[in-house]
Amino acid sequence: METTSQLQDSSPGTIFSENFCRSIRCWKMGQVSAPYASSYAGDGSRRKGFRILFENPYLFGVALFSTLGGFLFGYDQGVVSGVLTMESFGAKFPRVFLDSGFKGWFVSTLLLTAWLGSLVNGPIADRLGRKVDMMVAVIIFVVGSAIQAGAVDIPMLFVGRAIAGFAVGMLTMVIPLYISEVSLPDIRGGLVVLQQLSITIGILFSFWIDYGTHYIGGVRCAPNIPYTGGTTSNPTFNPYNDVGPNGCTGQSEAAWRIPLALQIFPALCLGIGMLFYPDSPRWLLMQERDEEAMETLSRLRRQAPDHPSVVSEALEIRASLLLENSYVRDHYAGLSGLRLHAAQYLSLLTNFGRFKRLAIGCCVMFFQQFMGCNAMIYYAPTMFASLGLDGNTTSLLATGVYGIVNCLSTLPALIFIDRVGRRPLLMCGAAGTCISLVIVGAIVGAYGSSLGNNKAAGWAGIAFIYIYDINFSYSFAPIGWVLPSEIFPLIIRSKAISITTSATWMCNFIIGLVTPDMLASITWGTYIFFAAFCLIALAFTYFFIPETQGKTLEDMDLVFGDTVAHEEKERIKAIEAQLRGVTIDGLNAEKGEMMAEHMEV
């Protein structure tokens, strides 16, 4: 039989600080429900909808500001599509401009290092905290962006993109984690959707900045030199032949350097701004910094530190931590440091319940990429040109409109994700994207190179690309970030999310690398390829993805039907008994120590 003192030994240090223990009095008096009761809302209600976001401006501001990291990701994603079509960029880096394989590697360099950054960031986020982790990522991103903007040769260009990618990977792993840990269950999905909305805003800004800056000095590199590339009926710029002895006399290098440099500004805003925002209360409790955690929860919930709802939430988090710490004690005895981290990563594969979560999280991220959205973003001007749009300016304009559609179509997810749930949005989105891509593929396959002479068919194809974007943007785009942030136990959440996020980056890397060659070789088959994965995603959602709407982060065991939850039921009871058994009168205010009742469970 276990005693409270024995349970207390399962976590480092004392279980509660002096202030934390004082605030438990209201719980012992019956004013607050036990842990896992989910009494989060200050008025005890379980209201749903995005309106709650605006009822707590501080929480909304914290989540919104932190998503500047998503803005950086979106901007860096989108800016490259326009830069790759600018003639002054082609004159500086002709191989990147002309060689589809090399172009794919240029785009994918950021994605490969982002995969690495997201994969290794779990232990870093646990060690430094979510807040400091974001600030470190910002510093790395600024260095990489500056190198890209000032690149004078291909190695410098690739190195800058690789460094920036590592930082982007770190940010895309830690931001959904941070948002999920500061939010309430009823609005957690909506807050994490802000991450995707911020990504789409970054893409939108990058598309239109590209469109505006490509006019600097003119849209052509050498206006007086005729094009020698392409075909007679559709001549294109050849950087090896169509540049004068003095380089570009028209379009300035500023046309592509400015867009690459502008991403430094929002990065600095994020880094400086995070100095004034709190760290995750969950992480603070993991570090035994109880007073800071209570103060942070108080600010985030707009309630006094001893308010019943604040105390209840803190106790839920603490109960979850004690449960996980006792699990570590029993299953990883004698392990610490890197060996403990490695064993916990391995447990994601050897523990069936955790593996099931991991498989679902990784598959959602896989479909997020193989449904083709980022292929559209990276190579949108090329795709629009293949549908019969004449001239680089027109293609960039159509790409800018795509960015607007992409951004606005994310808003329904913000409104409905915590009303109708995750599954309905995913299934509707998968069906809509599949149908749209099949139609686009059929149009390209039927008309081929003659689309330039069949404007109606070309515009129909463009319209269905926009319809595809609408369906993807309210479904897999945001929910791909929401699900992994809410399905894992706290003690391994950062590690699990680092794996799911790295999965999306690896898939993203593959898509960015192969899409140029696919468009050049199988043309219409590219769209059918992505449509097939949309159909598979629909079936996978229907059969395997559970509804997680409104569930607390600590209750996900029940959603997934794990046997682990049943086996640990007695542990939870023991922990609840321990927390209820705190003797407030035995608290030594001077020494900050606490006496716990000796009780058998």
Is residue 42 over pLDDT 80?
Answer: no
Give 12-37 pLDDT, tens digit per residue. Answer: 334 445 545 554 444 444 444 443 33
Give 509-533 pLDDT, tens digit per residue. Answer: 999 999 988 988 888 999 999 999 9
Task: Give the 3-state DSSP-derived string for 240-261, with helices as H, strands as E and coil as C.
Answer: CCCCECCECCCCCCHHHHHHHH
Rounded to an integer, the average pLDDT of 356-371 is: 94
Give 167-188 pLDDT, tens digit per residue. Answer: 998 998 888 888 878 887 667 6
Locate 393 and state its tokens: 């300016």
Q: Which among 588, 553, 575, 579 has a CA at the least distance from the CA of 26? A: 579
Cβ–Cβ < 8 Å for 491, 325: yes
Q: What angle (nearest 5°) sits at the alpha carbon of residue 445, between those of residues 442 and 446? A: 85
Q: What angle (nearest 5°) sits at the alpha carbon of residue 80, between those of residues 78 and 82? A: 85
Helix (H, G, I), strand (E, B) or coil at 338: helix
Q: Please report where in the chains the tokens 């409270």 appear, as a residue.
A: 4
Cβ–Cβ < 8 Å for 267, 69: no
Give 183-221 pLDDT, tens digit per residue. Answer: 876 676 667 677 778 888 999 999 999 999 999 999 999
Is residue 565 over pLDDT 70?
Answer: no
Q: What is the rounded distance in angstroms from the CA atom of residue 269 to the CA atom of residue 273?
A: 6
Helix (H, G, I), strand (E, B) or coil at 44: coil
Looking at per-residue pLDDT, the higher value among 330 and 162 belongs to: 162
**Cβ neighbour number for residue 55 with a 10 Å cutoff:** 12
Q: Which among 464, 458, 459, 432 has a CA at the least distance from the CA of 444? A: 458
Whole-number Cα distances in Å, 319 to 119, 248, 298, 307, 471 = 28, 66, 19, 18, 40
373-386 helix and 352-370 helix, angle to the nearest 10 degrees: 10
* pLDDT attached to residue 590: 37
Average pLDDT, the chain: 81
Whole-number Cα distances in Å, 514 to 363, 366, 380, 470 = 20, 15, 15, 24
**Taking phi first (over 0 means left), then psi (-120 to 50 degrees means alpha), and beta for anything else, what does residue 419 get?**
alpha
Q: Which among 185, 190, 166 has a CA at the least distance from the CA of 501? A: 166
Q: Please report the domains of the chain, with CATH numbers, ordered by start residue.
A: 59-277+350-554 (1.20.1250.20)
Report the length, in residues, of the chain: 601
